[in-house]
């Protein structure tokens, strides 16, 4: 079963008079319960693809079906609810909120969803414990290492039990040891929880943790490759 | 997202930029402070004036000869017979000098009943009222009897030498009036009361300079004034306490309006300050707005997040303004009475005797203006934030 399906999706960025096609007529399906790597040179449209799937932006043309929704038909409020409940974002630069501590950062998506504070706190603590961050809950993001920050971001992505994790170069700013730890976490989420993860990466080595590699070039899908178990 | 959670987030954002937040709050507080403090002075002074008017009673009409012959006993009884008139107190007023006093004083020939009408009640600190017989007795005002240092110039039983025109007259002090303070029609503290018959005898006149007319009720005032005007024509000037009261009310309202509009200009500054701060705050947080939207905050949530910061600034600014304004309201009269400023009404420095009145009307009004200004000035930045495209916001460096 597919969790995401793109049909003839194009995205053209317009800056002043210059039009730049970042994605060109892309059609692809992502199966549920897999760990998928999106690779390709810089500027090939990887982030654009992820942003469209995540409902952060709308395609210029084409149709995106994700988590059972036709994103085209959603109002901007419904799209916000979709991002909140179905998607968990993990970014290269962590994107944590500086004046909130670790616990508050992780609780934020639940607060937005309207989960009551006690329940939210319990859930956030649980996830932080699993990710080995229970003694950092009162710390501000700038008191943490890169690896720790990214684990906090993963915790934040997981609290609302999303169906899909979208990770844009999640290991781009952390050392290789921590990168492997994060790959381990992702792998476990897919294997044990049946989560679907789409991850943009430059790192061939890390793509070995994945089930499937999608290669992009100049806004076009070059190939899709299943990674066989060793 | 629940409003409570949004407010918490808004508060945390403000706390993150503490110095800037405090400055904005103070800018807003200035306007509130000035409205609260200044309106309290105007209200205080005017209520002081109203109090003294009240002593005379709102049903009082004062008729004074402007030119021509003085009022006769026939005139007095004619006025007494007008419908709606309760009683008439004829008096003879003139200015004079008393030895030992630089300022001119007022000599008022009046019967004890007329005195009662004028003063409300005759409050003596010493001695007693005179008998209504033509003899040289005087009841003297507080400021005449007692000098600035608080010692008696004239005491009971002592003679007082008065000079009216070119004539020197010796009177015996029988009573000393208590301090009356602010007064609008006559100033008892600088007046010497003597029996009406004695002054008429002395000045060889059978007339009166003024009549103090009491009507049966306030509703009769206008009618009686018309009748008196008809009776005497342009020879007399007619004033009623009712008239004075409404004049004072009108003046007070205008002064207050003026103060509020002066204070209002400080709200323009506060508004621009708030707009500036909120715009900077939104610009600084573009990326953060992108994050909030990415994790599911709706446009409305972002809008409320920034509008509520304006609201918080407005409310805190108002609270501080009200507190500061109330304190300053009570400091101003102390500064004024220390002699920095004088506003005299019939020789009295009104500014030294009033109590400032901090009124809920002006508190509420200034809070409303402050909060409104703060919200309006954060509306545009908040709207910009809400409309931001999440991808562009996240890409913002
Ligand atoms: N918001 C935008 N406005 C204009 N151009 C953009 C925008 N986002 C991306 N682009 C351009 O589109 C192309 C693809 O960008 P992106 O999807 O970020 O590539 P990748 O993530 O593969 O490096 C790039 O050339 C980039 O400059
Ligand atoms: Mg990218």
> What's the DSSP call for residue B231?
H
Three-class SS state of A24: strand
Residue A48 alpha carbon to ligand 2 centre in Å: 7
Reported ipTM: the value is 0.95
Residue B309 alpha carbon to ligand 1 centre in Å: 34
pLDDT in tens, B283-302: 999 999 999 999 999 999 99
Residue A48 CA: nearest ligand 1 atom is 17
Three-class SS state of B352: helix
Question: Any idea which residue has 């004034």 for tokens?
Answer: B225
Q: Is the CB of A19 under 6 A from ligand 1?
A: no
Three-class SS state of B397: coil
Element (H or E) spanning B386, and its range? helix B360-387
pLDDT in tens, B338-363: 655 555 544 455 555 678 889 898 89
Q: Of A148, A230, A229, A196, which is closest to residue A38 (Cα–Cα)?
A: A196
d(CA A155, CA A25): 34
Element (H or E) spanning B49, and its range? helix B18-56
Global pTM reads 0.78
d(CA B121, CA B67): 31
Mean pLDDT, chain A, integer: 94
In angstroms, the Cα distances linking A144 to A101, A106, A122, B180, B244 are 11, 14, 22, 75, 75
| Number of Cβ pairs < 8 A linking chain A and chain B | 68
Q: Of A4, A28, A79, A107, which is closest to residue B391 (Cα–Cα)?
A: A79
Residue A163 alpha carbon to ligand 1 centre in Å: 26
Give pLDDT < 50 ranges for chain B.
Answer: 345-347
Q: Can you name the CATH fold of A2-100+146-229? A: Rossmann fold (3.40.50)
User: Comparing B343 with A153, which gets the higher pLDDT?
Assistant: A153
Residue B395 CA: nearest ligand 1 atom is 1
From A175's Cα to the closest Cα of chain B, the distance in A is 23
Question: Any idea which residue has 């932080």 for tokens?
Answer: A128
Query: Which residues fall within 8 angstroms of residue B376, CB to CB, at 6 or more apart?
Result: B271
| pLDDT value at A167 more than 50 | yes
The protein residue with its alpha carbon nearest to ligand 1, atom 7, reads A13
Supply the Cα-derived Rg of chain B in whole angstroms. 32
Identify the pLDDT of residue B343: 55
**Least CB–CB distance from A84: residue in B16, B291, B295:** B295
3-state secondary structure B154-181: CCCCCEEEEEECCEEEEEEEEEEECCCC
Q: Of B150, B149, B146, B198, which is closest to residue B177 (Cα–Cα)?
A: B146
Identify the pLDDT of residue B350: 52
User: Comparing B180 with A34, which gets the higher pLDDT?
Assistant: A34
Identify the pLDDT of residue B338: 66
Using a CB–CB cutoff of 8 Å, tell me whether A100 touches chain B: yes
Q: How confident is the model at residue A230 (pLDDT cuts 50, 70, 90)?
A: very low
Please check whether residue B173 is in contact with residue B127, taking contact to mean a CB–CB distance below 8 angstroms.
yes
Dihedral of the alpha carbons of B347, B348, B349, B354, in degrees to the nearest 10: -160
Q: Is the CB of A46 under 6 A from ligand 1?
A: yes
Q: Domain-by-domain residue ranges, chain A?
A: 2-100+146-229
Q: How many CB atoms lie within 10 A of CB B3?
A: 10
Please check whether residue B177 is in contact with residue B141, taking contact to mean a CB–CB distance below 8 angstroms.
yes
Tokens of B296: 């599911």
Identify the pLDDT of residue B256: 81
């Amino acid at each position: 079963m597919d969790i995401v399906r793109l049909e003839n999706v194009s995205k053209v960025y317009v800056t002043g008079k210059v039009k730049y096609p970042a994605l060109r007529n892309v059609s692809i399906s992502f199966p549920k319960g897999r760990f998928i790597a999106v690779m390709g040179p810089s500027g090939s449209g990887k982030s654009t693809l992820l942003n469209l799937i995540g409902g952060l932006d709308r395609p210029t043309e084409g149709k995106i079906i994700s988590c059972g929704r036709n994103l085209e038909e959603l109002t901007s409020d419904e799209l916000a609810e979709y991002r909140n409940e179905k998607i968990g974002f993990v970014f290269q630069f962590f994107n944590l909120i500086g004046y909130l501590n670790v616990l508050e950062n992780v609780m934020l998506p639940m607060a937005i969803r309207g989960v009551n504070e006690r329940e939210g706190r319990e859930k956030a603590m649980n996830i932080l414990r699993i990710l080995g961050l229970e003694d950092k809950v009162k710390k501000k993001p700038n008191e943490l290492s890169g690896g720790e920050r990214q684990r906090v971001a993963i915790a934040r992505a997981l609290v609302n039990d999303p169906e899909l994790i979208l990770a844009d170069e999640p290991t781009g700013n952390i050392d290789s040891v921590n990168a492997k730890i994060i790959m381990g976490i992702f792998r476990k989420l897919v294997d044990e929880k049946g989560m679907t993860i789409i991850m943009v990466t430059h790192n061939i080595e890390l793509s070995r943790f994945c089930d499937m590699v999608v290669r992009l070039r100049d806004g076009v899908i070059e190939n899709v490759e299943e990674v066989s178990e060793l | 997202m629940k409003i409570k959670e949004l407010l918490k987030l808004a508060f945390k954002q403000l706390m993150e930029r503490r110095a800037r937040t405090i400055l904005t709050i103070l800018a807003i507080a200035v306007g509130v402070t000035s409205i609260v403090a200044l309106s309290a002075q105007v209200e205080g002074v005017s209520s002081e004036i109203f109090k003294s008017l009240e002593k005379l009673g709102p049903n009082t009409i004062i008729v004074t000869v402007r030119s021509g012959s003085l009022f006769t006993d026939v005139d007095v009884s004619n006025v007494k017979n007008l419908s709606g008139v309760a009683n008439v107190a004829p008096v003879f007023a003139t200015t004079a000098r008393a030895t030992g006093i630089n300022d001119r004083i007022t000599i008022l020939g009046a019967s004890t009943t007329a005195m009662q009408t004028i003063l409300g009640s005759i409050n003596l600190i010493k001695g007693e009222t005179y008998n209504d017989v033509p003899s040289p007795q005087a009841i003297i005002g507080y400021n005449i009897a007692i000098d600035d240092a608080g010692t008696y110039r004239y005491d009971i039983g002592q003679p007082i030498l008065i000079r009216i025109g070119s004539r020197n007259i010796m009177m015996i002090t029988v009573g000393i009036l208590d301090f009356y303070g602010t007064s609008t029609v006559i100033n008892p503290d600088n007046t010497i009361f003597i029996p009406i018959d004695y002054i008429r005898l002395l000045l060889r006149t059978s007339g009166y300079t003024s009549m103090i007319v009491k009507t049966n009720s306030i509703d009769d005032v206008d009618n009686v004034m018309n009748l008196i005007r008809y009776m005497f024509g342009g020879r007399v000037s007619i004033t009623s306490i009712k008239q004075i009261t409404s004049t004072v009310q009108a003046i007070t309202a205008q002064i207050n309006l003026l103060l509020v509009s002066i204070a209002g200009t400080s709200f323009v500054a506060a508004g621009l300050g708030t707009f500036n701060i909120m715009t900077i705050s939104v610009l600084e947080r573009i990326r953060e707005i992108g994050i909030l939207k990415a994790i599911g905050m709706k446009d409305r949530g972002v809008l409320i997040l920034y509008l509520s910061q304006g609201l918080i600034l407005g409310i805190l600014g108002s609270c501080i303004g009200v507190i500061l304004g109330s304190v300053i309201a009570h400091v101003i009269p102390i500064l004024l009475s220390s002699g920095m400023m004088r506003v005299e009404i019939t020789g009295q420095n009104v500014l030294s005797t009033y109590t400032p009145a901090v009124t809920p009307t002006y508190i509420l009004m200034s809070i409303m203006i402050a909060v409104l200004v703060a919200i309006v000035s954060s509306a545009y930045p908040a709207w910009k934030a809400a409309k931001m495209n999440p991808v562009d916001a996240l890409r913002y460096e």
